[in-house]
Every structure is written in structure tokens, then in C-alpha cells.
A and B are shown apart, each in its own frame.
Chain A
């Protein structure tokens, strides 16, 4: 049994993590589900927002974490790893869920070109809306570059496949090995009964460089190199490799080259160290693997012998962008360097391959870009839409997913109304930064790490370098969430402006003018004010004990009638001390047989005196409160406040002639699994003696 939150209060402001996510995954709610052991709900939440949740749990660039307000206290919550935990733990549930969620597909057929995250997300959404999407993929397996080119040490193909299989299970047909424009013309798709076409072909062509010697043997482009490495085809890989480029693809190439046996890999990029476009954590891992970084250098020429590369000459790059932010690198031609190499990979960006538009009457603009409206996602040809990187340029996986969602809405709207749908970019308002003075009062909790392969082990092969959270670790990490936007709400009608909240708020957040107020951007949702408010005018957005009392009213009399000999004890327990939900479930299912009714609560200090008395109202013989471990409460002063309320509740029992010893207070010792059973046994024994004395 747990405390059920109040019906969700729709807030107009969001937690920054949710606002920062391209698909607005409600990460705050996700963490709450995890902390409560509600992994099924967590899975549902993730998959509703993002059908590529397994992929994103591995490789998302996690803007959620970058905007996490906890960063100001110590370090952001490991949200990406928590997602991965849910997707890994719930893999079986996901399979079962597939069978339950097959939609009726009686609407039009839609052709989708490209099976990367944008195209497959669109297919997913369209299938759920009742359309019949058919995805055309020129490679032998679906997944786009995620599936074909991303190095396996970052993203095993099995993970991509989990997401893809889930989408296919909705009734999405994927035809692999078919290249639209060559095998089938786009025109023919529209003639053959497809009501709409979505171009989601991504950026599949590596750009090259126009420098002398670039046609030497041993010079390769990034994507063919990665594709070959991924599919275990023979890859040309010298002992000394140079990678040109500073983006994430360049990093993938460099690290792949190292794993393929290159002894020395040098990454050369125009940008200075501070400007390198690859994610900082990727750069860090790259250097750990012994890859040499040469920022602020540009390629001048490739020198070769007998047509085979021997090395590259570089020139100093002074700046990359002009004053208006346009790419216009400036060099100092007099400062040069050379790097000897047997292989060179060019990773300086990608472009779209528009083969699918051969004879398709879809207009292009500029240097071969699709004419495209970013709000309607429509091309110049009616019924033909485009999404993903082929139109929006390089981006992240989660942005591609968003683009797929938008494309599905665009197509569905056209097919249902005959009109184009304007979809302006959607930005969620969020509560902003955590104020410094509040951050300084938040209890520090170090982030929970995961084990990562040592660099010398990593470079031996393509084994995934990071492991996922164990359940205990995920629960500990979930505890670190500041639960932004779930703070205290005041019922102004009831508030008597008594100042109790102001006096006890451990974060100095509560204020009273005419009535009390807890600014949402400051409140830490500890609930101490709500538990203590004499007017019962304060409630937490996401926590209430109302339903708990109703449940007690049902369960306790039942338990009492079933276990006559045993004193019946209700036990309020700190949820945060549980290291696995199975323990909680087993305690909840077997406890009542032994006269114990456990109720886990995210911080027992949230309980009011009335909450402490309510078990007795419904017939419990005793109450055991088990708090967290010594010095581990998230909220300053919370334990003292709870102890005052316990004293008050004991006083009430005393006033009506009942023994104060009927209420016991314990602190978890070690873990819930280790200590709670012992506490229950001790309290039950003591209570048994009291009842015997009284002859009850």
C-alpha cells in the first residue's frame, strides 16, 4: 500500500528537465514513478513521449540533465541513466504491452522513406492513429544511421532493434533493401495507393574536402568508414590515423579507428578547444582512450607516396566563424604542422542524399535542399512531406523523434481535413533556475555512478563501455530529484496567516503577506509546512494522505479479523530506504498475515499528527514509524519536526487512557530489507506485552 498522490494538478509551468527535452518527456514524473517502484507507469510515460526510448536511454545528449536544477546544488540527476534503467528493467513488460496495443488500421496507406528515428517515429504515430504506414529502407536492416553507423560501444544494435521491433509490432511494414528513386519512383508510390509520402532520409552522405592529395589511397569518408565498421566489413585502418573534424561523428570515427587497431589516432579540427562541437563528455572519453586532439588546425594538403597517403599538412586556424556567426575560417598559412599517417578519415559534416526525388516533381532550393515549410512540414508537392535531418540539418536523435511526431500530425491532419496543419515550435514555460540561497540549503547527495570500462579495456573492442543502473542504484539516484513544480499550494480561503509555515520552512521559502505563499521556483516540496499547518490550508501538489486513510479503513479491520492473536500494527516507512520494489511488494503482501500493514511514504516527516492517529481510529493496536537512516534525510529539521508530532500523537493517546508506547519510532539501519522486519518484530512483541497486561 502506498500514499496515492492527489489528482494531478495541471501546472502551467514545467520542470526545466521536461521543458528542455525535445519531446517534453515528463522526466520529473518519470523519476517519481521510479522512486515509487511504479516501473510500468514509467515505461508507459517514456514510450508515450518517445518510441526510441531505449536508444535515448543510451545515447541521448540529455538536455534534461543539462537543465536539471540540481546542478546548482551538486550535480544533475542522472536522468538518461534512469531512462535506460526503466527500458532495461521493463523489457519483458514492453513485449507484453505490444500485444495489448495493436491498433485497428483502417485508414490510408502512407509511404515513409527512411527508417531512422524520424521516419520510424512518424510510422509509429501514424499506425497508432489507424493509418497503414510502409517504411522503405535502402539498407538491409532498419534504423538509419542509428542502426547502421553509430558505433556499438555507444549503442548496441540490439537496443535499436528493441525500439524498432516495438514499432513494427504496431503493424508498421518495413521494406528493406529498396531504394526509392531507383527501385521504385516516388511518383509510383503516390500512384500505387499511398495517400501521402514522408521523406525522412536523414543526412546520409559524408562531405569531403577540396585539398590537394585528397584522392590519395587511404583517404576515406566518415560514413562509409563507420558503416563498414558497424557491419564488420573489412575496414581500411592504418596504424596511424588522422580524423578531420570536431563533431560527434568525428569522435565516433576516431574511437572506432582506435578500436580497429590504430595505435595512434589524431583528431584535427578547426575549432578551438572551447568550441569543439562534439559533446564534452565524448571529448573526455576520447582523450581517455589515448586519442590526440589537435584543435585550431585546418587541413592544408595530403601528402602521399606512390598514390598512398603518408600524412597530412595542417595550417593554424585563427578563427572559425565571422562576426555574424557564419562559417568563415581564417588561417595563418605561415604556421604549419604535419602529422604522419597511413589513413585519413574526413568527418566534416553530412548532406542529404536526394536520390528518392528523381523525377518526383518536388522542388529544391539553394544547393540542393528540399523546398520545405518548417511549420507544415510540407514540400512543394501536395501529399509529400519531409522531416528529420534531411530538412532540418544535423541534430540529435531526440530531435529527430520530435520531427517524426510532427510529421505524423501533419500527414494525419492533411488526410483528415484536406488542409495543411501549422505547427509552430512549441516551448514549454518552466520554473527557471533554482535561486542560490535555496540551493545552498539543499542537502548534498552525490550522484550515483555506473561502472565504466577502463580506457585500456575499451579500445580492445566494441563492447559497450557503460553499464546501466542496478535497481538499488536507480532508486538511490531517483531520490536526488528536487521534484521541481511539485511544491506546496496554499488554500487562501483557509489560511489564517499564522506564520507557522514561515517559521518552520527549512529552506526559508515560505512567506506571508495577507496569506501564505511558497513560490514554486523555490519550494523544495518537503511538505513540513503542510504537515504542520494548523488551518490544514497547505497541500503538496503531488502528495496527499487522504487515500491512505481510506485504504487503512478497509485493510486494518480486515487484518484484525484475520489475525486475532496478533496485535495489528500499521507501519509508516520511509520509501527512500527500499533498494528493490520486490521487497516492498512482499512486505505488503505477507505483512498483513503477520499483523503488519506497511505503508511506504516518500519521507515520513510529511505525516501530520492526524495521520499518526488515523491507524488507531480504524482499529490498529499500534503504529510503527520507520524513518530513513541516520543523517540521510533529504530535508533539514524534518526529523525533529516529526518527533514533535509523534510526541503530540502520543500525548493524545495518553489523554484518552491509552499507552503512549503503542507508537514506536525507528530509524532504518542498513537498508529496509535488513532492518524493517526486526523492528516490526520488536514492536509487535512489546505491544503484545502491553495488550496482555491489559487483557485485551
Chain B
């Protein structure tokens, strides 16, 4: 799950204060589930902006909507039509950064502003709290680390065990941050596979991650694209 957090209203307001018809657009998938961009949050943001504009004597109109996913052109089309029909001048997207990008791409003349800060790929550890668990590095090594990702969960993304900053299972950067390598070692002990950590690994190829530039993924069972061509392009 992509996890995000709503931006402070004062910041959102600063994006849109020069517009008169503003659409707050929620996303019905990841940001709904991470409690910052669903229809309920759209109402809160819209309400906050209206209250603020009312006090400043501004005469802007705030509209509300929420689409199923902002990362799909077909769903965005619904919003595009609304923008056209309702003469929207600016959009505040409560979708993740992906949503803002796609909206911006498909809505040529209307500015799209981010209403949330997209944080990470995470899991719920208790109601209302998420922890980062994946960095989307493009070459998963969880089979080697007991299912616990050192790239996402170690502060230094170390691949060769804990550093000197580990203390009683916690990371030196903060008491509420687990040391990923302490978790990995405990986990592999309980699995009886601790000895696998002594195996030598080849140097990691980081080109699958951000280091290789913007990434593209093709499913040829759906996309009619020449794979060779695509791979060549990606490189």
C-alpha cells in the first residue's frame, strides 16, 4: 500500500488562493485506505479551505469529488469531464504523487496541486499507524533476509548486517525505529536459517532501482509492445 499524509491546510491554501473554482479530488484507493485522501478527507480539506476563505473574505468556490483511482486514465477521464463541465480552474489532488502526475498529464490546461505528501510503501502495524516495509528497489532480496527488507527498513539500507548504531534491537536514529538487521537475525534464528547469512553475495546491481532512471513495466499479455524494443528503450 502506498501511504501518504495530508499536507497542512495553510500550504494547500497557498497553492490555490488565486483561483476561484477549485476541485478537491480524492482517490478511492491507497490514500483512502491510508486515511488521507478519501471522500471523508476531501470533505475536511474542502471545509477547511472554505472556512479559511470565508474568514479572508475570498469568494472562491470549492468543489468536491473522489474517483476510484487517480492512477488510471479511464478513472481520470471522469474527473477530466467534470473539470470541463464545471469550469474548474485548479485541482488539489488527494491522490498520491502518481495521481498528481497522471492528472497533470491528462489535464492539459488546469493546474494540479498535491494535497498530500506521498510517504512510502507500508503496512498497518496498528489502526492508524503505518510502517515503511518496501522501497520498490526493483530487485527483491527478501528470500535472503527472512522476509524483512534491509533496504527499506535499515536506516542505511545496509546489506551486510547491522552497523555500530544498533542498540538493544533499536536503530540509533530513534527509539521507535527497529534495527532491521536485529529483526532479520532474530527472524532467521527462529527459522533455523541464520547460517545462510554467512553466504557470500555478488555486488548488488542498483540499476533496477531509481539509479537506473525512471522505470517502465510492460505486461505483454496485455500490452501490444515489442519487449526487445521496450527493454532497449529502458536502458
Seen from chain A, the residues whose Cβ lies within 8 Å of a Cβ on chain B are 494, 496-500, 503-504, 532-537, 608-610, 613-614, 616-617, 619, 648, 652-653, 655-658
Contact = CB atoms under 8 A, between A and B. Distances in A.
B104 to A, nearest CB: 24
B41 interface: yes
Contact of A536 (B13, B43, B50, B54): B43
B136 interface: no
Given A616-B51, A617-B51, A656-B10, A496 B44 contact: no
Contacts of B193: none
B113 to A, nearest CB: 16
Interface string B1-31: 0000000111001000000000000001100
Contacts of A498: 32-33, 35, 38
Contacts of A536: 38-40, 43, 66
B52 interface: yes
B10 A534 contact: no
A499 B127 CA distance: 9
Contact of B51 (A496, A499, A537, A658): A658
A609 B32 contact: no
21 contacts: A496-B29, A496-B33, A498-B33, A498-B35, A532-B40, A533-B40, A534-B35, A534-B38, A536-B39, A536-B66, A608-B43, A609-B40, A610-B43, A613-B47, A617-B50, A619-B54, A652-B51, A655-B9, A656-B9, A656-B49, A657-B52
A610 B54 contact: no
Best-surrounded residue of B40, B49, B52, B66 (most CB of chain A within 10 A)? B40
Given A498-B33, A534-B41, A653 B28 contact: no
B51 A653 contact: yes
A695 B211 CA distance: 56
B212 interface: no
B138 interface: no
B44 A613 contact: yes
Contact of B13 (A609, A619, A656): A656
A500 B41 CA distance: 14
Given A500-B127, A658-B55, A535 B10 contact: no
B147 interface: no
A609 B13 CA distance: 19
Chain B contact-residue range equals 20 to 34
A613 B51 contact: yes
Interface of B: 8-10, 13, 28-29, 32-33, 35, 38-41, 43-44, 47-52, 54-55, 66, 124, 127
Nearest to A504: B127
A67 to B, nearest CB: 37
Contact of A494 (B28, B44, B52): B28
Contacts of A614: 47
Nearest to B7: A655
A656 B40 contact: no
A617 B39 CA distance: 18
A503 B126 CA distance: 9
Contacts of A532: 40
B167 to A, nearest CB: 32
B40 A652 contact: no
B79 to A, nearest CB: 16
B8 to A, nearest CB: 5
A535 B127 contact: no
Contacts of B124: 499
A535 B48 contact: no
Nearest to B42: A536
Contacts of A619: 54
A457 B9 CA distance: 71
A652 B43 contact: no
A61 B8 CA distance: 61
Contact of A652 (B39, B44, B54, B66): B44
Contacts of A537: 39
Given A496-B28, A496-B29, A655-B9, A535 B38 contact: yes
A379 B207 CA distance: 93
A610 B44 contact: yes
A548 to B, nearest CB: 14
A614 B40 CA distance: 13
B48 A652 contact: yes
